[in-house]
Each structure stands twice: as structure tokens, then as C-alpha cells.
Amino acid sequence: MSPVDAYADPLAGTVLDGRYRVDTLIATGGMSAVYRGLDLRLDRPVAVKIMDSRYAGDTQFLTRFQREARAVARLAHPGVVAVFDQGGGQAGGTPPFLVMELVEGGTLRELLRERGPMPPHAAAAVLSPVLGGLATAHRAGLVHRDIKPENVLISDSGDVKIADFGLVRAVADAKITSTSVILGTAAYLSPEQVSTGDAGPGSDVYSAGILTYELLTGHTPFTGDSALTVAYQRMDNDVPPPSSVISGVPPQFDEFVLRATDRDPVQRYADAQEMGDDLAAIVDELALPPFRVPAPRSSAQHTSAVVPIPATPPAPRQRTRALVRDELPEPEHLPAAGQFAGIDLDEFYWARQRAKRALLFWVITVLTLTGLIAVAAWTVGSNLPNLI
């Protein structure tokens, strides 16, 4: 997906299912657009992924879309973007949409563009939650099918999460093909996805291996003039070790990538759990320090959070009008005669008199007490020898 102008889409401002307000557009792609939104019932910020309107009339897509949304909503793992709700899909009405957790931050793709390749400890910090989320999905019988940096989100607090479970399968089952889906995933497809279209946990493992290679080197292993060229290169070529491209990569990570991207699915890690366990062992063996993954500074998500307020145009200037005495407006609230601030002036007079009397009383009282104290002191002083 690519960032776009927040005001470029007419859906902004609409309310879906009477509950989810669509606010600013975050990014758009070939099959969907993602918006920053608000759950009006819970007053909670959300992300709303709205599918292209051409999918609204595809019964097969809608069935798969709803099924996958329900399955992903049952996943509970900090490495998976939570799905809250799904709806839409009526022909001629609202397109299908997903309501998801809003991750304040950006994508791994945006982070790679900003910072380039990562050292091993940073790559491990990204991969660990990704593989943890995938392992949870694999245990539930789900396969992602589209692991790539665009689908890995990084929050401002350093959380790493996977998004878009099941969407590729729903699109693949639809009657409508999407070349943008092929273009977006060609660099990460497993050989069996290219040859037969089949995908299992091993396919996600292969894609995660390609992702690891890219984290360490800054680019994917296969390039070409077209998506098909890139896709078919993996049929006859092995992924090279990352250390052959960039120096400093430990041999343990070379072996890690080569096993994950073996062209034979049987030779790969069985699933994300096994791959994650091996990664944890490598981290311990190399004593890699913990690392907090930074969110990209210039992300489409951050841009969407800053909604510009249109400047208020200045009021038109008016000519000064000369008024004669007879045209002056009568004051609406004039104080009554003999009053100040709505209080009778007589009240001020009597208040002053009372204050004077009170002051005189206290002066007499103080003088009397002072005199009594002085007399008592003189009396005691005069009779002091007799008292002793």
C-alpha cells in the first residue's frame, strides 16, 4: 500500500454499520484502502480496511472473507493485529470492510527505507514477534500467505505485529484477479505457491526466510523485469547466504536463512514455531543484546494522524460609517440612578459608617487593655519587696 492525500477519498467522514466513522486515509493498494477510524460506540480509535467495491458482488469472495475474518478474530497474540469486526459487502452498498486494531506507528517497509539493513540483534527483534504470531496462527490451522514488510507493523512503543491474515486467500478464491497482489508478493512467494498455488505453514516459513534475508541485506534475493521473472527465479535458484552480500552476518544466520528458504518444503522448518525456536537458540548462542524496534518516523500512519485544520478566512473589511447623534443606538443595559454595579449608593454609605464604628470599638478595646496591663505591672513592681 502507498500513502495518499488524506482528503483524496470520498469515503472519509462516512459511518459504517452505524458505528464506525471513517476518518483520514492512511494508505491505498490494488485491492483495498486503510483508514484511520473511530468506533463511536466504544470511543476507540480503529483501523478500517475497506476492500475495493468490485469485490462487493462476489459471493465466493464474501464467504471466504467472512470466514477468514472470524478465524483471525479468534487469534490472541501480541504479534498479531487484532480483528474486531467485519461487515459490508452488499451489492451496490458498502464494500466489504474489516475493523482492526489501530497500530500507531508504521510499517517495516517504511523503516527499511529510512534505515536500510539491520544488524543481527535488530533483525532478531523484528523476527521474534513475527514468528510468534505466525506460530499461533499455524497452531490454529491458519496460513498467512503474504508475509512481507508491508504487512509487518511497528508501533511507537516498539511492538511488532503481523496484519492481513487471510486476505490473499479470499482474493485468490474470488472471480476477480488482481495483478497488484501478484506484484506485491512476488518477491516473497514460495516455490510451491508459484508452481501450484498451494500454501501451507512451510510457505510462510519460506517467506519469513526471504524477509530475514532482506532485513540483513536491505533487499530481496531475486530481482527481474517483471513479477513473473522474479517469481520463477526461485524455482531453479537457491537463496544465497546473506553474508555473501553484506559482511558481518554471522554464519548462524546464513544457515537460518538457507534452511528456511530451501526449495524443498520438507527440508525447511516445519512451521513458524520450529523456526522461532531456532532463532531463539541463535540469539542465546551469539548473546545478542535485547533491542527495541523503532517505529519509522515518516510513516503514512503518522501523517494520517495529523489532520490539517483549514484556515478561517478573514472577515471582509467594511467601510467606517459616520453616525450622527440621533443614529447612535440606545444602550441595552444602563445602571439605575443612585446605583453602582447594581447596588444602591445608600448601602455604600451605611457600610462605611459601620466600618468606622467597628474600627473605633477595637481602638478603645486595645487602649483599655493596654492601660490595665500597665497598672497591673506598676502595682506588682511596687509591692515586689513585700511579696518577696
Q: What is the mean pLDDT of residues 273-281?
A: 98
Among 275, 207, 198, 204, smallest CA distance to 239 is for 207
Listing DSSP states for 309-375 in one string gives: PPPPPPPPP-------GGGSPPPS-PPPTTEETTEEHHHHHHHHHHHHHHHHHHHHHHHHHHHHHHH
Predicted local confidence at residue 171, as pLDDT:
63
Calpha distance 306→355 (Å, rounded): 61
pLDDT greater than 60 at residue 349: no
> Which helix (DSSP H) or strand (DSSP E) does residue 38 occupy?
strand 32-39
- Under the banding of pLDDT at 50, 70 and 90, the label for residue 385 is low
Domains annotated for the chain, with CATH where assigned, are 2-303 (1.10.510.10)
* Average pLDDT, rounded, for the chain: 81
% of residues, the chain, pLDDT over 70:
75
pLDDT (0 to 100) of residue 334: 42
pLDDT the model gives residue 250: 97
Q: How confident is the model at residue 331 (pLDDT cuts 50, 70, 90)?
A: very low
Please determine, for residue 227, whether its predicted confidence score (pLDDT) is greater than 90.
Answer: no
Query: Looking at residue 199, what is its pLDDT?
Result: 87
List all residues 6 or more positions away from 79 whose beta carbon is below 8 Å from its beta carbon: 129, 130, 131, 132, 133, 134, 136, 160, 161, 162
Give the model's confidence band at 346: pLDDT under 50 very low, under 70 low, under 90 confident, else very high.
low
What confidence tier does 56 reach under pLDDT thresholds 50, 70, 90?
confident
Segment 73-88, tens digit of pLDDT? 998 899 999 999 999 8
Our answer to whether residue 146 is catalytic in this structure is: yes
Residue 342 has pLDDT above 50, yes or no: no
* Mean pLDDT in residue range 336-345: 46
Predicted pLDDT of residue 132? 97
Q: Has residue 101 got a pLDDT over 60? A: yes
* Cβ–Cβ under 8 Å, residues 48 and 99: yes
Q: Which position has the higher pLDDT, 42 or 4?
A: 42
pTM to 2 decimal places:
0.74
Residue 98: helix, strand or coil by DSSP? strand
Q: Which of 58, 146, 164, 271 is catalytic?
A: 146
Which pLDDT score is estimated for 286?
97
Please give the average per-residue pLDDT across 43-66, as a whole number. Answer: 85
Task: For residues 271 and 209, give the distance between their C-alpha atoms in angstroms, rounded to a whole number.
Answer: 12
Mean pLDDT of 207-218: 97
pLDDT greater than 60 at residue 312: no
